[in-house]
Amino acid sequence: MLILAIESSCDENSAAVIVDGRLLAVETRTQTVHQPYGGVVPELAGRSHLELVDEVVQSALKTAQIQARDVDAIAATAGPGLIGSLLVGLNYARGLSNALSRPFYAIHHVEAHLWSAELSEGLLPLPFLVLLVSGGHSQLIRVDRLRCYHIIGSTLDDALGEAYDKVGKLLGLSFPCGAEVDRLAQRGDACRYRFPTAMNDSSTNLSFSGLKTAVAYKIRDIGIEEAVTYKCDLFASFQDAALTAVLLKTKAAVQTVMPKAIVAAGGVAANSELRARLKAFADKQCIPCFLPSIQFCGDNAAMIGYLAWKLLVNDEITTLRPLAKPRWPLEQLMSETTSE
Ligand code: KG4
Ligand code: ZN
């Protein structure tokens, strides 16, 4: 079964070819048009998808050394995400599926993140706990099996990736800032500036907006000159407070869920310090820890094609009308029928 997949929910243009659950090719481009704005500009994201969707698809097909007519099915992200961006990928996929007379499968973006570690790590033991941390999501989710998910905790305000982006922006980094903050923090001293751990209790919810404000106040107090001079220390101190909270909540969730594995997902799962801390924590608890390889952490079409294949072989999906769903709660997936 050869699946062509497209991901266009936000600011990554991505296409992939999956054969029987194995990745043949993936082409992912992070849009650079948003760099001056400190965040994703929806209109620009949609336009960029329009410009690049055909190019990334053709590039993935070329790397896989196949023609479009060789594919057995086409899958695309249907939501949640930016409406303009989703529509581009979905309509492209619909056009292709009509032209080639192949079935189309609509995929839930967050559900695809949940299973993304299987692309590099193989089948995960059930039930597992996913720490999903990206620019739009920060959640702890228990996965009992396909289509059976329970949200154990969520951020009450900003997502973790959003906090990295906002703190990076305060010191002039260009968007998205997470990877650069990660790199600079590795050289920093996390003890120079101390920030409080948000929601330092046994609940499983997260919060990052207070920390972001605390960093902004610290920069105001010490002055921009000192802040720039010691930016590595500032980033290391911010990261230490943010990840201390993340690990605290993961620990609380593990106590509630008693999972067979701890799994990371989403763009921030690429963070070197988060990976090290999560692994060390899981080792201490004697629970296996699965970290997707870096290319499968952020948004990518490989996870979309992989989930489509997994749903297909488990008879959990039928071909759908390609409706874009900018809001599509994960909980809804379990209650809705797969055919519309
Ligand atoms: O999953 P993703 O590609 O898109 C969303 O669904 O948001 O995640 C993007 C987010 C951005 O906020 C980016 O700054 C962050 O992930 N990010 C990182 C790292 N790499 C990407 N944050 C911290 N450390 C990293 N190494
Ligand atoms: Zn995502």
pLDDT averages per 10-residue partition of the chain, 340 residues: 98 97 98 92 97 98 98 97 97 96 96 98 98 96 96 97 96 95 98 92 94 98 97 98 98 97 98 98 98 98 98 84 88 64
Q: If you write DSSP's letter for every residue of 189-233 in order, what string do you get?
A: -TTSS--PPTT-SS-S-B--HHHHHHHHHHHHHH-HHHHHHTHHH
* Ligand 1: residue whose CA is nearest its atom 13: 178
CB of 79 within 8 A of CB of 327?
A: yes
Q: CA–CA distance from 289 to each of 19, 224, 260, 280 (Å)?
A: 26, 40, 9, 9
**pLDDT for the residue numbered 212:** 96
pLDDT of residue 319: 64
CA of 300 from ligand 2 middle (Å) equals 8
* pTM to 2 decimal places: 0.96
Does the beta carbon of 299 sit less than 6 angstroms from any atom of ligand 1?
Answer: yes
- Ligand 1 centroid–CA 262 distance in Å is 19
Q: How many CB atoms are located within 10 Å of the residue 333 CB? A: 15
Question: How far apart, in whole angstroms, are the C-alpha atoms of residue 45 and residue 51?
Answer: 10
pLDDT of residue 200: 85
Sheet holding 148-154: strands in order across?
A: 148-154, 138-145, 128-133, 261-265, 289-290
Our answer on whether the CB atom of 82 is closer than 6 Å to any ligand 1 atom is no
